[in-house]
Chain A
Amino acid sequence: MAVQSNMSDGLGGNAGSTTAGCTLDDRWSGTRMRPGVTLRECRLARTRRWRNRRNTVLVVLAVVLTLIPVVMILFQITQKGIGTMNWEFLTSSEPFSVRRTGGGFLNGLIGTAIMVGLATVVSVPLGILAAVYLVEYGKSNWLAKLIRFFSDVMTGVPSIFVGLFIYTALVLQYGFGGLMGGAALAIIMLPIVVRSTEEMLKLVPTELKDASYALGAAKWQTITRVVLPSAAPGIVTGVMLAVARAAGETAPLILTAFGSLHLTAKLWGVQMQSLTLAIWSGARQPFEAGQARAWAGALELLIIVLVFTVAARLAARRSRISR
């Protein structure tokens, strides 16, 4: 009887029907508690429950689909690379005939280390200083906006263009070499370092800077002693990711380092191999031995990149400001 009466008195009426209590007031689709109705009886509407389940399934499905290629890549590289991966592979260079078995990618590993190292030494200090300018000095003036805009453009530029640029700017004059490869990688790393460092510096609370200024610190003292140390773990993360990206680049090195079968530490005048170039040339061979080395090289590079990424994550976890 109360069910039939005015719906607005749902709060007051005990309605005499606890089981049908939820239908008392349709405005909340029976999801609210009222006198005489327990939480157990007060259930979500069926369509809502169904929608909730459907969306959960969709989201989980999306995650699984995303993971499939990653897992397959990891699996395949490990499976095919592990057979050739041994001490000899890690410690010797490529044989002069690609048909031969044995040998390894030491020349590529050393080349990658040299070129990525060069690129890091150049791009990290420059990138951090540029980010300091953006956050602490330029803020939103025209120069800062210009730097930001071109950093974004540079991040999106296909890396072969960077190789072409170095080719015309340096290689045509001085020939292929590790220095040129390093220069190309530095150009690729620079915008990543700038933008990631900028984001980290922006996270440094104004209160910390205020505290420093209030103690009579000059701007430069505040930046070097408070802002940069506070942001350091985050900056390290960005740098590691940039290093991982550079270590995995192939295209810009084709036109700059060119690739070689020799182990060399000479920075110019002679072509230099990198891990990625070694994988590329090995994989193109019709010979079993070359392909096998390429797989092992891929495994080696994968592990290196993985180590850097994990290190970056650990550094980020130590970060005080981003927690």
Chain B
Amino acid sequence: MKSDTDTQTSLPQGLAVPEVRSSTVSAWGVPTEKPVFSVRDLDVYYGKNIALRGINLDIRPRRITAIIGPSGCGKSTLIRCFNRMNELIPSARVSGEVFYHGENIYAPGVDPVVVRRHIGMVFQRPNPFPKSIYDNIAFGARINGYKGDMDELVERSLRRAALWDEVKNQLKNSALDLSGGQQQRLCIARAIAVEPDVILMDEPASALDPIATVHIEDLMQELKQEYSIVIVTHNMQQAARVSDETAFLYTEVDEETSARWGTLVEFGDTSQIFTRPRDKRTEDYVSGRFG
């Protein structure tokens, strides 16, 4: 497991990190480290079907939080709640609260566009715009009325995403000519170009080969110095490798109506989830007995 003592030198490790957090009992960080996100009693519906029920968890800053679980348990649905991307699906409905630095992003009067300007997202499949590499990076800055030096911003973002050396001589070329792994790093660069506070990653490496995956994972370790990262992954090894904390989601089935929804089974330190899980279902899942 990665130790993050280097980034949290002021905090003794054992003191700052509560041992175990379940979905119902929220443990709070020490006062110097308020959570970036606090999810309270979150339910998500698609039409009449419930997709997620009763989610409670805290995401801490400058950490990588992994969301794991079997297919169809609502991992992607959950991560899309953090920047109100679910609203783009016409039938989706959210109840409950998601506090971002103490402010409920689902409160009336909060514009989802403003929320998304603070919370970047990287998607499962690399999705660069059919524009040049330069324009891809500059897109977010332009729509947000960035006044600074655009060339400098593009270079800085590409450097942060460890892509600069590979593309510095072809910035005017189409982003679609890059390889899949490069495209995904471009998407990360594009996300960090608008200087967000949090980066959400929805299975960012699932469409990539192992070498490109390693690139992305190294990059995440770099990025967590400055950003809070939430990553959805179906790959348990990846969660164990990269994350500091892990949330395990699982599908519950109502026998009578055969309705299925996702629920948070266990949330805690990655090392604890993988070595000393408290819930039987977590243990079965991380030991590879199913899913």
CB–CB A216/B116 < 8 A: yes
Q: How far is the CB of A193 from chain B (nearest CB, A)?
A: 22
Which of A207, A214, A225, A229 has its CB near the most chain B CB atoms (within 10 A)? Answer: A214
Q: How far is the CB of A234 from chain B (nearest CB, A)?
A: 12
Is the CB–CB distance between B117 and A208 below 8 Å?
no
**Complex interface: chain A residues within 8 A of B143 (CB):** 212, 215-218, 221, 225
A205 contacts partner chain B, Cβ-Cβ < 8 Å:
yes
- In the complex, what's the smallest C-beta–C-beta distance from B90 to chain A, in angstroms? 7
Q: When the two chains form their complex, are residues B130 and A214 in contact, meaning their CB atoms are under 8 A apart?
A: no
Q: What 1/0 mask marks residues of chain B from 94 to 118 whose CB sits below 8 Å from any chain A CB? A: 0000000000000000000110111
**Contact between B139 and A210 (Cβ–Cβ < 8 Å)?**
no
Within 8 A of B (CB), among A212-240: 212-218, 221, 225-226, 229-230
Contact partner of B127 among A211, A221, A225, A321, CB < 8 A?
Answer: A211
Chain B's interface size range is 20 to 34
In the complex, 29 of the A-B residue pairs with CB atoms within 8 angstroms, ordered by the A residue number, are A207-B125, A207-B127, A208-B127, A208-B130, A210-B121, A210-B127, A211-B123, A211-B127, A211-B128, A211-B187, A213-B85, A213-B88, A213-B113, A214-B191, A215-B143, A215-B190, A216-B114, A216-B117, A216-B118, A216-B144, A216-B194, A217-B113, A217-B139, A217-B143, A218-B143, A221-B143, A225-B142, A230-B130, A320-B174
Contact of A216 (CB < 8 Å), options: B90, B113, B123, B125: B113
B131 A229 Cβ-Cβ under 8 A: yes
Is B167 interfacial (CB 8 A cutoff)?
no
Nearest A residue (CB) for B193: A215
Asked whether B176 lies within 8 Å of A320 as measured between CB atoms, the reply is yes
Tell me the minimal C-beta distance from B72 to chain A in angstroms.
Answer: 19
Note all chain B residues with C-beta closer than 8 A to A230: 129-130
| A81 shortest CB reach to chain B, Å | 42
Contact: B129 with A214, CB < 8 Å?
no
CA distance A211 to B187 in the complex (A): 9
**A139 contacts chain B at the CB level, 8 A cutoff:** yes
Measured CB to CB, the residues of A under 8 A from B are 139, 205, 207-218, 221, 225-226, 229-230, 320-321
Is B180 an interface residue when CB atoms closer than 8 A count as contact? no
Interface of A is mostly: helix
Pairs of residues from A and B, 4 with the lowest C-beta to C-beta distance, nearest first: A216-B117, A214-B121, A215-B140, A207-B127
Closest to B115 in A: A216
List of A residues within 8 angstroms of B277 by Cβ? none
CB-CB under 8 A from B144, the residues of chain A are 215-216
B120 interfacial by beta-carbon distance below 8 Å = yes
Contact bitstring B76-91, A, C-beta under 8 A = 1, else 0: 0000000101001010
Q: Are A215 and B130 in contact (CB under 8 A)?
A: no
Closest chain A CB from B8 CB (angstroms): 29
Q: Which residues of B contact A (CB under 8 A)?
A: 83, 85, 88, 90, 113-114, 116-118, 120-121, 123, 125, 127-131, 139-140, 142-144, 174, 176, 187, 190-191, 194
User: Quick one: closest A residue to B200, CB to CB?
Assistant: A214
Residues of B within 8 A of A214 (CB): 83, 85, 116, 120-121, 123, 191
| B181 CB, min distance to chain A CBs, angstroms | 17
Q: Is the CB of A215 within 8 A of B116?
A: yes
Q: Contacts A207-B125, A213-B88, A215-B140 known; A321 to B130 CB distance under 8 Å?
A: yes
Residues of A near B139 (CB, < 8 A) are: 212, 215, 217, 225
Q: Could you say which residues of chain A place their CB within 8 Å of the CB of B190?
A: 211, 215
With A and B bound together, what is the CA distance between A217 and B85 in angstroms?
A: 12
Residues of A within 8 A of B85 (CB): 210, 213-214
- Shortest Cβ distance from A321 into B: residue: B130
Which one of A205, A213, A215 contacts B191 once the chains associate, using CB atoms below 8 Å?
A215
Q: Which residue of A lies closest to B140 (CB)?
A: A215
**Residues of B contacting A221 in the complex (Cβ-Cβ under 8 angstroms):** 143
> With a CB–CB cut-off of 8 A, which chain A residues contact B174?
320
Q: Which residue of B lies closest to A224 (CB)?
A: B143
A173 to B127, CA, bound (A): 55
**Interchain nearest-CB distance for B188 vs A (Å):** 12
- Let me know if B123 and A207 touch, CB within 8 A: yes
Give, as a whole number of angstroms, the nearest-CB distance from B184 to chain A. Answer: 12
Contact between chains at B191 and A210 (CB < 8 Å): no
Q: Are the C-beta atoms of B129 and A213 separated by less than 8 Å?
A: no
A54 CB to nearest B CB, Å: 44
List the B side residues contacting A217 at CB < 8 Å: 113, 139-140, 143
CB distance from A223 to the nearest CB of B (A): 12
B-chain residues with CB within 8 Å of residue A225 when the two chains form the complex: 139, 142-143
> For the complex, what is the distance from the CA of A211 to the CA of B120, rounded to whole Å?
9
Give the residue name and chain of the A residue nearest to B127 (CB): A207
